[in-house]
Amino acid sequence: MSDYDYDLFVLGAGSGGVRAARLSAQLGLRVAVAEEDKAGGTCVLRGCVPKKFMVYASEVPEQIAYARGFGWEAQSGKFDWVKFRNANNTEVNRLSDIYASNLVKVGADLINARAKLTGEHTVHLTPSNGDAPYEVTAKTILIAVGGHPFVPDDVEGKELAITSNEMFHLDKLPKSMAIVGGGYIAVEFAGVLNGWGVETHLLYRGDQILRAFDQEVREHLTQEMGKKGIRIMTHAEPKSLERVADGIKVTLTDDTELTVETVLYATGRRPHTRNLGLEEIGVGLDRDGAVVVDKFSKTALDHIYAVGDVTNRCNLTPVAIREGVAFVETAFKNNPQAYDHSQIATAVFSQPQIGTVGLTEQDAVAQGIRVDIYTARFKTMKTAFVGGDNRTLMKLIVDHKTDVVLGVHMVGPDSAEIIQMAGIAVKAGLTKAQWDATCAVHPTAAEEFVTLREKRTA
């Protein structure tokens, strides 16, 4: 028997921590997971899952408009926010319970408490039910506490704003909202609220939304969002929020004023490492508060690891899960594994959706790679039939010398589904000739990816 209470203690019951805990417990190890909230983490409780349900709900008016174009006598009714909110929360709670029960089934202890490290092998626990704090020991510790949204401290009246955490529990749907930010969370919520009929303003301090994405993707999405009625203001940074008779007055740094009912800040997330006792025991943090780890997710201490958003490497749920799996192989199976963070396919559930994997055109040029660029812009059959104005963008980045497809980008319906398969091809290093040799599935939008012929070289 070990001198420790547990072989593994995990801080955080999100996707990465739970996967690591379950796999470790299945090896016969004594495992505990501390979580001060419900099990499931950001993705299940206040991120990917409930937000995707929001996207589904907000797309209904457009689907009804398409139905009319196809001959159906269909009309949009009134959206019942409270009914949807309650159903969404019920589903989130169901999924959270599954996360918790899966831990219990494999023999892990799920402890509802705030955890803090007070020694290299010691965890101080403050139970959420008010019971007296206590300490446990563990041979190996995994930090998987994720991140949290924030409102910048330099904004006067910041307490008037909400973050994505509160979006899922609003008492009522506002008539107007200003969303501050230009990343994927901001553009996703902009599409959702606009779909529900909320007057939506997107305020971004930069030149164009979605800073790290391909330039053509950014331009195309901006145009498509504008067609749907979303007001996008760039070079727009709030300096103060003030409660007024008809809502909240937002004053920008150039003294432009805007009054809305609600202000949502979606300017990024920070690692949830405050008051965890990490630096005191020798676990390094970077300037953003992220846990510093090596390629094996190990901190400066050999027995303490970290995975997921708390490391601020690639903040995606599937990545956290893969990092958790690699951690178990490394720490407990004498099989060191470093998860490869390159060429990860991802989707933005904006309206229209974005799917992307690999290099952008700008990345390739910056790295000195000569590339051939293949693009297509078109109306899908469905849109053309009903006389719609929405257009889809598809783009391939191909190494001019080797013919290897280095990047795939799409803006349009079903981009998230299509990019998953494209991600396999990019990860495998397939060439444009191999893409071209693949027979098209007709009639689909996806077939454009294997029929692109016109190119330009950059």
Nearest to 187 by CA among 160, 222, 212, 148: 222
- Look up tokens 């070990």; give the residue: 2
Beta-bridge mates of residue 271? 147
The answer to whether 432 and 440 have CB atoms below 8 angstroms apart is no
Pair of tokens at residue 81: 């926010």
The answer to whether 395 and 410 have CB atoms below 8 angstroms apart is yes
CA–CA separation, 418 vs 353, rounded Å?
11
Instruction: Name the catalytic one among 121, 272, 400, 442.
Output: 442
SS3 55: helix
Q: What is the dihedral of CA 239, 47, 295, 365, to 10 degrees?
A: -60
In 5-131 the beta strands, taken as DSSP E runs, fall at: 6-11, 31-34, 109-111, 113-119, 122-127
CA–CA separation, 201 vs 198, rounded Å?
9
Q: What is the DSSP letter of 309?
A: G
Pairing assessment for the beta strands 231-234 and 199-204 based on DSSP bridges: parallel
- Max CA pair span of the chain: 72
CA–CA separation, 69 vs 411, rounded Å?
23
Beta-bridge mates of residue 40? none
The answer to whether 451 and 426 have CB atoms below 8 angstroms apart is no
CA–CA separation, 74 vs 170, rounded Å?
29
Chain centroid, CA 11 distance in Å? 21
What's phi and psi for 452, nearest 5 deg?
A: -65, 130
Q: Which amino acid is it at 117? A: L
Pair of tokens at residue 44: 């299940």
SS3 265: strand
The answer to whether 447 and 441 have CB atoms below 8 angstroms apart is yes
Pair of tokens at residue 87: 């159903």
The answer to whether 352 and 411 have CB atoms below 8 angstroms apart is yes
Helix (H) or strand (E) holding 405: strand 405-411
Q: What is the dihedral of CA 394, 424, 187, 219, to 10 degrees?
A: -30
Is 303 labeled as catalytic in the residue annotation? no
List the catalytic residues.
Answer: 442
